[in-house]
Amino acid sequence: MKVLRLHAVGDFRLHDEPIPVPEYDEVLIRVKAVGICGSDIHWAADGSTGEATLTTPSVLGHEFGGVIEGGEMDGLRVAVDPHIPCETCEFCLQGHPNLCPDHYFAGHPPTDGALREYIAWPMKSIIPIPDSISDEGAALLEPLGVAIHTVDLGHIKPGMIVGIFGCGPIGLFAIQVARAAGASEIIATDVLPHRLEAAKRIGADRVYLATPQGDERTQILADTHKLGVDVALECAGENSAVETAIETAKPGARVVLCGIPTVNLISFKASTARRKGLSIMMVRRMKHVYPRAIKMVEAGQVDLSPLATHRFPLTEAVEAFTLAQQRQGLKVIINP
């Protein structure tokens, strides 16, 4: 089978490798679609994400769906949860597997991900999908799941004003999920006009172009009668977006930080956050959300189709990563 391995920063190489043989608790999946995530871009461009670094040629890709081959479930179309917790630590037993310290994650070296034709993966992390969800849609359920978890941490209630700071795929999904949670008004910011256009199409009430000077903060406060937003969801991975979320949050608001910064540091004015008495939450992946994600798609509360804007075969993965790093379009999909 064809396998794409990252050997060093920007050094992708296509390999021929044996099709994996599933263990007793695994199934073999023919990979149909893989979404390129912001963390994948960090691996490719920096050779690291957070404190983790690339030490051996690795296969990226954790947003994926495919078809089971062989066994009793042969032909079953599935989405895949890329996170495998230990299920025995205190965090897993308390219902927080996303906080498990003894886990592994597809596409997070040294665990190989899905940028290959076949992958063997634990059966417990396989989620069957209905015919109404495409192969690309199966891959998009992972970032949708992160958006659902982000909105959950925001404790959004009917009638609230919600700010989405960063309109990449997770931010665009968060707009839809926040609306389903009861938000009466949703505002959104981004540095890219085409993403703001997508935010408007997908349901944002007001959009603001983010500037280096932070002009959008003044505009948001003016448009909310100097009160700000009830819940601020930062989905950009940029410190300027964090600062905007803090500056435009109401006193007593919840600020949820979802984006992964390129530089492993987040900063904001402590005095502003302290005087407002803000509750600041950090997003660690997601938990128990795939069934909800599928139900929201089936109910028409979330539309997956506008997100996948570019598609490439595995042999053109370098071009796919280049386009994703340039932030053209929305979600770049690789079809192995």
Backbone φ and ψ for 203, nearest 5 degrees, come out as 135, 0
Check whether residue 119 and residue 160 sit in a common domain. no
- The Cα–Cα gap between 219 and 53 comes to 40
Tokens of 305: 């189709």
Domain membership flag for residue 139: no
C-alpha 217/C-alpha 279 separation (Å) is 19
Residue-by-residue pLDDT tens, the chain, 336 positions: 999 999 999 999 999 999 999 999 999 999 999 999 999 998 998 888 877 888 899 999 999 999 999 999 999 999 999 999 999 999 999 999 999 999 999 999 999 999 999 999 999 999 999 999 999 999 999 999 999 999 999 999 999 999 999 999 999 999 999 999 999 999 999 999 999 999 999 999 999 999 999 999 999 999 998 899 999 999 999 999 999 999 999 999 999 999 988 888 899 999 999 999 999 999 999 999 999 999 999 999 999 999 999 999 999 999 999 999 999 899 999 999
CB 169 within 8 A of CB 330: yes
Q: Which structural domain, as residue segments, surrounds residue 308?
A: 2-134+304-335
Whether residues 248 and 323 share a domain: the answer is no
Token pair for 70:
């062989």
Domain harbouring 126, CATH code = 3.90.180.10
Q: How many CB atoms lie within 10 A of CB 104?
A: 14
Q: How many CB atoms lie within 10 A of CB 166?
A: 30
| Prior bond of 109 cis (ω within 30°) | no
What b-and-e string marks burial along 206-245, b requiring 16 or more CB atoms within 10 Å of the CB? bbbebeeeeebbebbeebbeeebbbbbbbbbbbbbbbbbb
**SS3 annotation, 317-334:** HHHHHHHHHCCCCCEEEE
Q: Judge if 38 and 129 occupy the same domain.
A: yes
**What backbone phi and psi angles, to 5 degrees, belong to 306?**
-75, -15
Cα separation of 154 and 183, whole Å?
Answer: 11
- Judgement on whether residues 122 and 165 belong to the same structural domain of the protein: no
Hey, how many other C-beta atoms are within 10 angstroms of the C-beta on 300? 8
Domain annotation covers residue 294:
no
Res 298: pLDDT: 97
Q: Are residues 206 and 113 in the same domain?
A: no
CATH number at residue 243: 3.40.50.720
Residue 128: strand pairing partners: 78
In 10-150, where do the E strands start and end? 11-16, 26-35, 48-49, 52-53, 63-68, 77-80, 83-84, 104-105, 118-122, 126-128
214 CB contacts (<8 Å, ≥6 apart)? 240, 243, 244, 247
* Residues 179, 101 within the same domain: no
Three-state secondary structure call for residue 265: coil
Question: What pLDDT does 73 receive?
Answer: 95
pLDDT, one tens digit per residue, over 298-326 is 999 999 999 999 999 999 999 999 999 99
Residues 6+ apart with CB under 8 A from 76: 67, 68, 128
Number of domains composing the chain: 2
Looking at the DSSP bridge assignments, the partners of residue 58 are 6
Does 203 map to a domain?
A: yes
Q: What CA–CA distance (Å, rounded) separates 267 from 263?
A: 11
